[in-house]
Amino acid sequence: MTNHPSMKRTFIGAIICLLSVAMLAFSGSASQPQNPAGQNQATQDAIALREAFRRGGLREVAKLKGHYVGEYDPHWDLLLSLETLTKDSAAVIVGRFTKKLDARIPDSRVIFTDYQVAVEELIKGDIKQSETVVTLPGGRIVFEDGTSAEQLTPYFDQPRIGRAYTLFLMREKAVPGVFFLFGGPEGMFDIEDSAGVRSHGRADDPAAVETKGMSRELFLRKVREQERK
């Protein structure tokens, strides 16, 4: 991402928040026991999962479970307006998702899946190629030992191949050449339907409220205006 200190603190703070959610998912993933003995075993399993995650992230959890599947909420604990999304993003593009690529696990704790995106309009930033790679939270990864980990995102709708989106993007030095969503799901808007855009953020996020019912034409005009200010 950019080298701006406040931006780095924002990203790190968001990841810390999200990891705490992931940790809670471990403790809640076991089925409800029917007896005290089962309850004791479920508690031990949950503790073992948490310790494995602290020790080595999803790789260690996969070793423990063989094939781990968990839920992950990628929403940032921030309230971002359309103006903030535009001003603080490294790049803003109108693009069309063309292909789903491989998954990656840059920090051992969160799985991301790469997508190839055809750039139809560059509103902000320095993207010279007609296609770029955007990585989104969620996905499945297989480790060298044959174990695997999968993170589902029930609170974030993954993009549909062939549809057009406006993406507010950031860079991360640990993954050069790849863009992440700035603001998490708040930085992704489905604009395929010209009659109205749809934020992938939460319904009460400022940018989602601000753009609810807004036409694609008006939405893009506002984003372009924010970039010119």
Residue 90 neighbours by CB under 8 Å, 6+ apart: 1, 2, 125, 169, 170, 171, 179, 182
Q: Which residues of 173-193 are buried (b: 16+ CB within 10 A; e: fewer)?
A: eebeebbbbbbbbbbbbbbee
Q: What is the pLDDT of residues 77-123, one digit of tens each?
A: 999 999 999 999 999 999 999 999 999 998 899 999 999 999 999 99
Per the document, the length of the chain is 229
4 pLDDT exceeds 60? no
Structural domain harbouring 74: 1-229
Predicted model pTM: 0.82
Q: What is the pLDDT of residues 163-210, one digit of tens each?
A: 999 999 999 888 888 999 999 999 999 999 988 999 999 999 999 999
Q: For the chain, how many structural domains are there in total?
A: 1
Per the CB < 8 A criterion, the answer to whether 174 and 107 are in contact is: yes
216 pLDDT exceeds 90? yes
What mean pLDDT is predicted for residues 147-175? 95
What one-character-per-residue DSSP string does 46-107 give?
HHHHHHHHHHHHHHHHHHHHSEEEEE-----S----HHHHHHH-SEEEEEEEEEEEEEE-TT
Mean pLDDT estimate for the chain: 86
Q: How far apart are CA 137 and CA 144, in angstroms?
A: 21
Q: How far apart are CA 37 and CA 204, in angstroms?
A: 43
**Residue, of 17 and 44, whose pLDDT is higher:** 44
Helix axes 36-65, 5-28, angle to 10 degrees: 130
3-class SS of residue 128: coil
Q: How far apart are CA 47 and CA 106, in angstroms?
A: 25
Q: What is the pLDDT of residues 17-28, one digit of tens each?
A: 444 444 434 543
**Residue, of 213 and 32, whose pLDDT is higher:** 213
> Nearest Cα to 134, choosing from 179, 187, 185?
179
